[in-house]
Chains A and B, each alone.
Chain A
């Protein structure tokens, strides 16, 4: 399973970050666990990309939920995985954060990588996906191209495959 895990990035509900470590220390730890030796410069570049450069040395326990979500996204994808599993990536994000996730999904798509996104923000996520699946009460009630998702089920939970 080790080689398979190396090709997957997972963003779950919990961030997987450590409150007593700084943002930079959290990314250093994640890099070591992915088997990468990334320099401070590279990791600071990732933090800049996430809009967290100013908080690089701040302890994560002082972060807002939106900052945690941005950092968690960077942590989960530090190793440039081929498959990304994102569970509610838009949670707690402000307008800039939402745009960050949008850009991230577009970049993944442009690089020919796969993302599976579970989200309640149906209209926003439909912009980026090639295939959409709508789940209601645990059952798939729609599975097909995003353009075909019936408007009346938009409030339902949506899983989409990019």
Chain B
């Protein structure tokens, strides 16, 4: 029984990625949007403005964690929205509702596909931010990858849930961020703090607390979204 449900999740994941690979609708929109945001911040704040914390870093380097996560947050919302938009084009969402099986499988498949697209976008975005803001990411890569993965799971799980909730609404592109962003405030806060500690050093050993907060929000969002998704996709 669990095997059949996992097979359904895998089918949705495979289908979404195949469509994305061919249409590249979500990935292109996300990558260009996030890249342009980082570039615009670079121009707006100036490459040589001194940072607030120490004289050794520029303002851009000091603010890089916040700028990066703002870009990922907005781009992630696009990915979640696109994931359900493709289901509306030919009545795919209605067909998904009629297929037998547990709705949790539908959520898991959609979540994994959104997560995969976001991770691919971050694989491009992180080095781009490193080059743009002159930050040597290589020695900090393991910590950065860990924090990014934890935060991305929270973004994707919440995004998938609210994208399903707003899928049939005319004003979904307004409502999705309005519903999603307030819930994600602790995630963004923890992700920015943890990324900053990874990039700039952690003299007070604070990183573990922020990572635990990210892990706790992952567990909370995944549990609540999975348990309530069935009611979200019902007509």
Contacts and interface: CB of A to CB of B under 8 A. Distances in A.
Given A5-B99, A33-B8, A35-B8, A25 B18 contact: yes
A75 B95 CA distance: 10
Contacts, number: 71
Interface stretch (B26-34, B85-93, B213-221): B85-93
B100 A5 contact: yes
B94 interface: yes
A18 B90 contact: yes
A19 B101 contact: no
Interface stretch (A6-14, A39-47, A145-153): A6-14
A18 B94 contact: no
A6 B4 CA distance: 13
Interface in B125-157: none
Interface in A12-40: 12-21, 25, 29-30, 32-35
Considering residues A19, A32, A34, which has the most beta carbons from chain B within 10 angstroms of its beta carbon? A32
Contact of B15 (A3, A16, A21, A35): A21
Contacts of B18: 20-21, 25
Interface residues of B, number: 25
A6 B18 CA distance: 26
Interface residues of A, number: 25
B96 interface: yes
Nearest to B99: A33
A19 B23 CA distance: 10
Interface of A: 2-3, 5-6, 8, 10, 12-21, 25, 29-30, 32-35, 59, 75
Given A33-B12, A59-B22, 14 more contacts: A5-B98, A5-B100, A10-B98, A14-B95, A15-B90, A16-B91, A16-B92, A17-B92, A21-B19, A25-B18, A33-B8, A33-B96, A34-B99, A35-B4
Interface of B: 4, 7-8, 10-12, 14-15, 18-19, 22-23, 86, 89-92, 94-96, 98-102
11 contacts: A5-B98, A5-B99, A15-B91, A17-B90, A21-B15, A25-B15, A33-B96, A33-B99, A33-B100, A34-B100, A35-B101
